[in-house]
Amino acid sequence: MPETLTHKNTSESLKLFERACNVIPGGVNSPVRSFKSVESNPLFISKAKDAFIWDVDNNKYIDFVNSWGALIHGHAHEKVIIEIEKALAKGTSYGAPHENELELCELIVQSVPSIEKVRLVNSGTEAVMTALRLAKAYTKRNKIVKFSGCYHGHSDSVLSMSGSGFATFGIPSSPGVSKNTANETITLPYNELFSLELILNKYPNDIAAIIVEPVMANAGVIPPIKGYLESLRTIANKFHCLLIFDEVITGFRLSKGGAQEKFNVMPDLTTLGKIIGGGMPIGAVGGKKEIMDLLAPIGSVYQAGTLSGNPISVACGLATLKSIDKNTYTYLEETTNELCEEVSKLNDKLGANLTLNKTGSMFSLFFTKERVTSFEKAKLSNTKSFAQFFKLMLLNGIYLAPSQFEANFLSTAFSKEELTKTIEAYKNSITEMFK
């Protein structure tokens, strides 16, 4: 029988968490980190390198969060650290244009097929907020359509029926968002077109944009059903509203051109984040020149940011993107496929009726035997079983995303050895649960 670990010493994390709760709401600076939904206290991390993170009690884990997808090359990649150090020697912020930010923007325009112009911001939230403002200005309409389970950051107009932390804590929408704002957002089921056609026929001249995660990752991983993204494009054209792909996660994750390249469906605007900053604060909104040129100072749609294009974030992002080579996506996809195939074999062998969804190098294990094609289906998962699974994997040295409604990510730092250890840990955990 595999060794059943009963506990790890996490006393230093607990001390820090208790201290943190005195000065930070919930003891964390972002809700999903709280481990609340997995009935645990969060681990405080002391360092990270390649595929690993260490907590303050010096427990080592294979990391599948990778800063929520930002670290495609794992932690502290030497080529990235060197570029950050070089940038640091030249100062941390100029509040003025610099060549590296131009180079990063040129690289984004060259890589993402629908982007003709791009503006750097400081987070995915800011990127989405700006994209929606642009869409409303360009179409002179005020309503937007989003999909339940998709998460687009925490700006007011997208805080309804969201995924990520909302799904994790079962929050339908957030207090503090005015009724007027909430009424301008229509939330529909993902992977379903009937209700979308209905709403657009009901409001044929009111919808400024349809915003979607082209592959949902904030309800757990939920890929688009065949033809879905193409249909969104057709419907947006028919009703003269913009199609916005929120590629904060999928951008440079699924391919250099993101989901739009992988599925060959071109949005009007794209939001990016995470990987383009390599783990430093960043976001970007890009798209057609005629829309992007509405932004000040050339146009009158205002958007600004003290640290937009920050030299350190840009150096980190540039080094990250430049370290992506022709083998990166093949390696990530093949390694993820191998891991998921082994997990599926173990599920069959151990009679674990679970659903595994994956796209590229991101995956989620749902504690339901239902096929998960929508947020509504994802919510059928047994989150208590997920919590038990999460804790068992942690005991076995695997740090998964601490929520049933999040994605797990591989990095190029993840080697055969980590693959073997992860499969062993999975076998121990699932055996313990289904014995």
Shortest distance in whole angstroms from residue 291 CB to ligand KE4: 19
Question: Cβ 217 to ligand KE4, closest distance in Å?
Answer: 6
Joined tokens for residue 225: 């059903």
User: Using the 8-state DSSP alphabet, how is residue 59 labeled?
Assistant: -
30 vs 92, beta carbon nearer ligand KE4: 30
Q: Which residue is associated with the tokens 């060959």?
A: 264
Tell me how far, at minimum, the Cβ of 123 lies from ligand KE4, in Å. 4
Residue found by looking up tokens 């791009």 in the block: 118
- In one letter, which amino acid is 405? F
151 tagged catalytic: yes
Cα(372)–Cα(270) distance, integer angstroms: 26
Rounded to the nearest whole angstrom, what is the least distance from the CB of residue 248 to ligand KE4 in the complex?
Answer: 4
Report the alpha-carbon angle 425-427-429, nearest 5. 70
The contacts of residue 241 (CB under 8 Å, 6+ apart) are 135, 139, 141, 145, 200, 207, 208, 209, 210
Catalytic residue status for 274: yes
**Residues with Cβ < 8 Å from 34, sequence gap 6 or more?**
26, 27, 28, 42, 402
Closer of 188 and 430 to ligand KE4 (Cβ): 188
Nearest approach in angstroms of CB 124 to ligand KE4 is 2
Catalytic (active site) residue 246 = yes
Shortest distance (Å) from residue 381 CB to ligand KE4: 16
Closest to ligand KE4 by CB, 213 or 261 = 213
CA-CA distance, 368 to 364, in Å (whole number)? 12
Q: What is the DSSP letter of 224?
A: P
What is the rounded distance in angstroms from the CA atom of residue 203 to the CA atom of residue 384? Answer: 41
φ, ψ dihedrals at 82, nearest 5°: -60, -45
Q: By C-beta, is 146 or 396 nearer to ligand KE4?
A: 146
Report the DSSP pairing between strands 60-63 and 52-55. antiparallel
Which residues, including other chains, have CB under 8 Å from residue 127's CB and lie 6 or more apart? 121, 153, 248, 271, 272, 273, 283, 284, 285
For residues 60 and 52, the answer to whether their CB atoms sit within 8 Å is yes
Give me the catalytic one of 151, 190, 329, 399.
Answer: 151
Residue 64, CA atoms < 13 Å, CB-side half-sphere: 24
- Point out the residue whose Cβ comes nearest to ligand KE4: 124
Virtual CA dihedral for 240, 267, 286, 182, nearest 10 degrees?
A: 60
Shortest reach from residue 103's CB to ligand KE4, in Å: 22
Q: Which is nearer to ligand KE4, 40 or 431 (CB)?
A: 40
Q: How far apart are CA 252 and CA 247, in angstroms?
A: 8
User: What count of other Cβ atoms lies within 10 Å of the Cβ of residue 20?
Assistant: 16
Q: Which of 36, 146, 274, 391 is catalytic?
A: 274
Which residue out of 50, 55, 63, 246 is catalytically annotated?
Answer: 246
Residues in contact with ligand KE4 by CB under 6 A are: 30, 32, 68, 123-125, 128, 151-153, 164-165, 213, 218, 246, 248-249, 273, 283, 406
50 vs 406 by CB, closer to ligand KE4 = 406
Residue closer to ligand KE4, measured from CB, 44 or 151: 151
Annotated catalytic residues are: 151, 246, 274
